[in-house]
Amino acid sequence: MDVTAQPTAESAYYKVSKPLGWTLLTLVVLSLIVSVLIVRRNRELVAADNQRLDSQMGPRIGATVAQMTGIDTSGTPLHITFGDDGRKTLLLVFTPECRLCRLNWPSWQMVANSINKKFYRMVYVNGHPGSTSEYLRQYQIPSWSTVIAEADPGVLIRCNITLTPETILLDTNGKIEKAWLGLLEGEQLSDVERSLGISESKPPSL
């Protein structure tokens, strides 16, 4: 007797669930792709916002500082001009109350110990009047560098210095060549070393 096999409940379920499974898998893959694209886009937006923030709050690249005035740690007036000795100037801007500035001092000290003083001079700038002398006793300040314990507010405004720590490179005529905001670490510290010729066998051309 010819008996036609009837589909069981299990086989019918398999025929239905297999396409459904592929559909669900496709949706999962698409969701992952969309999530990755969203994360990447968010990172791009954050990077763009940070760049705009740096340009708004950081030093204006290309601006020229005709002179720097202020008071040193002993209360003596300072008057720094540019273009007289053919050296570039590295400004290290800090405030005694700044936690990030304290974290940044090891990098600044490394730069101070490695920089070629024949081609560069270093000026430490306190961005906020305070107990600069007591604060700086914690760190090794090169004897050949200059410390502005209280900077002329007009200089800070012209340089657009609003945050600390800031590391600013002025060319031989006092024009702002480069600026690094925040901690000097990772790629930012490597960029400082390249810009100052620290990681090279010879200093960069002036």
pLDDT tens digits, one per residue of 9-46 = 555 555 556 677 777 788 888 777 877 766 666 554 43
Indicate the average pLDDT of the chain.
80
Q: d(Cα 191, Cα 41) in Å, to the nearest integer?
A: 26
Same domain, 43 and 141: no
Sign of CA dihedral 61, 67, 71, 72: positive
Q: How crowded is residue 135: how many other Cβ atoms within 10 Å of its Cβ?
A: 18
Same domain, 186 and 90: yes
* Domain stop point among 22, 39, 57: 57
Closest C-alpha to 185, from 89, 119, 108: 108
- Residue 4 covered by a domain: no
- Residue 173 covered by a domain: yes
Same domain, 97 and 191: yes
Give the confidence band of 169 by pLDDT, cuts at 50, 70, 90. very high
Give the confidence band of 129 by pLDDT, cuts at 50, 70, 90. confident
* 113 within 8 A of 137, measured Cβ to Cβ: no
Same domain, 35 and 85: no
Domain count for the chain: 2
Same domain, 106 and 41: no
pLDDT tens digits, one per residue of 133-150 = 889 999 989 999 999 999
**Span 186-192, mean pLDDT?**
94
Q: Which CATH number covers residue 163?
A: 3.40.30.10
User: Of the ranges 125-129, 177-181, 191-195, which one carries the lowest mean pLDDT score?
Assistant: 125-129
Global pTM value: 0.69
**Span 114-133, mean pLDDT?**
90
Same domain, 36 and 109: no
- Residue 180 covered by a domain: yes
Beta-bridged to residue 181, according to DSSP, are 166
Same domain, 171 and 136: yes
User: Quick one: tokens of 160?
Assistant: 């657009």
Domain enclosing residue 36, as ranges? 9-57
Q: Tell me, what amino acid is at 199?
A: S
How would you class 147 by CB atoms within 10 Å of its CB: exposed for 0-12, middle for 13-18, buried for 19 or more?
Answer: buried
Q: With 50 as the cut, is the pLDDT of residue 99 above it?
A: yes
Give the confidence band of 8 by pLDDT, cuts at 50, 70, 90. low
Give the confidence band of 173 by pLDDT, cuts at 50, 70, 90. very high
pLDDT in the model for residue 201:
40
**Span 41-61, mean pLDDT?**
53
Same domain, 184 and 108: yes
Q: d(Cα 142, Cα 148) in Å, to the nearest integer?
A: 14
pLDDT in the model for residue 55:
46
SS3 state at 126: strand
